[in-house]
Every structure is written in structure tokens, then in C-alpha cells.
Amino acid sequence: MWMICKKEWQQFFSSLTGYLALAVFLLLNGLLLFVFPDTSILNFGYATLGGFFSLAPWVLLFLVPTITMRSLADEFRGGNFEILSTLPLSSAQIVWGKFLGALLVVLSALVPTIIYAVSMQALSVTGGLDIGATLGSYIGLLLLGAVFTAIGICASSFTHNTVVAFISGAFICFLLYSGFGAISKLPVFRAGADYYIEMLGIDFHYRSISRGVIRLADLLYFGLLVYFFLSLTRKNLENR
């Protein structure tokens, strides 16, 4: 499993495309946070990274499928999956190896953003960042990235085409992140039903953790989503 994980990590950074994807992620977040006036945190008048943690999920929604789109689709297209199948590894080990390797790449994209927190703390004249909320938000981003990674790998297991894997992965991530929130606002859902529908969406639990309070319900939600999509991927591989 760790061999697969290492291979996934090295494969992403073996070409300029991998570095370019991470550079675009950091550049885009930097522009949104410090340059564009409508979203610049410098215009808030107080120390907060709320803008970053609100925008980052939307950037990850496209970055993560870019990372995962080749995970299994390329293996199928190049005929390498047959070689993988001959190794003394179970389908679950292959899937988890792919998942952990891709998640390490996502983590590599998130770690440099800590400089935003350091910069904001240094620029703050009065008070400073809410450390609890900031830490909770980073945990939320990592869990969000884990779910998006599981979804992306699952999408990649259903096709030989990396473009199809990217589009379908990004679409499912979008639906689960914001779809239930949008549906809950429909007039037909009243008398508290809207709240329970919104609870089904990723955004609800991400915002909950971002407040700095780590609830067991939120951790279970993210964990179950990861388990569901990785189990679906494993089943798909076993049926090939």
C-alpha cells in the first residue's frame, strides 16, 4: 500500500504539471486574499482569515479532481492496472494507497497557506487571529480535501478518460458541497426540514468545524463519506 502511495506522490511531481497546479492554487488564493478589493482581507479592518477559508473550498473543488483524475484512469488506459492486479496487494490496499498518495499532494498545497495566517498575525495592529477558529478551519480544509480526494479517485475508477474523470469528480464535489444547501432554500421545505436537508451537505459540516469546535458528528460525517467513496471504488475495481 505504501508503495502505491509513494508512486502516486512521485508521479504527480514528476512533471511540470504538478508544480503548476499547486502554483496556480497558491497564486489564485493569494490574489483573492490580498489583491482583489472585493475579497481582500486587508480591507476588513481586523485580523481574520474567514475570506480564505470561505474561498479555499471552491478552489479545492477544481484542484483536487486535477490531482486525482489520473489516479486510476491512466492505469486503465495504459494497461498498467493489469500489472497492479498481479502484485500481492488487495483491491482495498490499492485504493487506499492511491487515496493516501493523492491526499499527501493536497496536504502539500495546504501547508504553504500557513504563511497567510502568519502574515495576518504580523499585520494585525490590535488583537490577532482567533487561533481556535483558525486551527479548526485548517482541520476542516484537510477533511474537505480528504472527501474531495475520495470522490475524485472514485470518479477516476469509472473511466479511461482523464477529462471525464476530472469533470465528473468536480461535478460530484460541487453537488455534495453546495447542492444540499441550495435545495434546502427551496420554499417547499419548511418547518425545520430545510435544516436537516442542509445537514446532508459538506458545507454545513465544514462551516461547523471552522468555528473552532470539533464535533464527533462532523468527524463521523467526513469519515463516512471517505469510506463510502473508497468502498465504491474498491467494488468497482473488483468487478472489472
Instruction: State the burial class of residue 39 (Cβ atoms within 10 Å of its Cβ: 0-12, 13-18, 19+).
Output: middle
Averaged pLDDT for residues 28-44: 70
Q: Which of 4-8, 109-113, 128-132, 197-201 has the least mean pLDDT?
A: 128-132
The C-alpha cell at 150 is 475520495
* Domain tally, the chain: 1
Binned at pLDDT 50, 70 and 90, residue 121 comes out as confident
Query: Helices marked H in 13-90 — which ranges?
Result: 16-34, 50-68, 73-77, 80-86
Exposed/middle/buried for residue 126 (C-beta within 10 Å: 0-12, 13-18, 19+):
exposed
Identity at 3, one-letter amino acid code: M
The letter for the amino acid at 209 is I
Planar angle of CA 92, 87, 159, nearest 5 degrees: 60
pTM of the model: 0.89
- 47 has pLDDT over 60: no
Per-residue pLDDT, 170: 95
> Helices in 159-215 by DSSP H: which ranges?
162-174, 180-184, 193-198, 202-210
Mean pLDDT to the nearest integer, 6-15: 78
**pLDDT surpassing 90 at residue 168:** yes
Question: The domain containing residue 188 runs over which residues?
Answer: 2-238
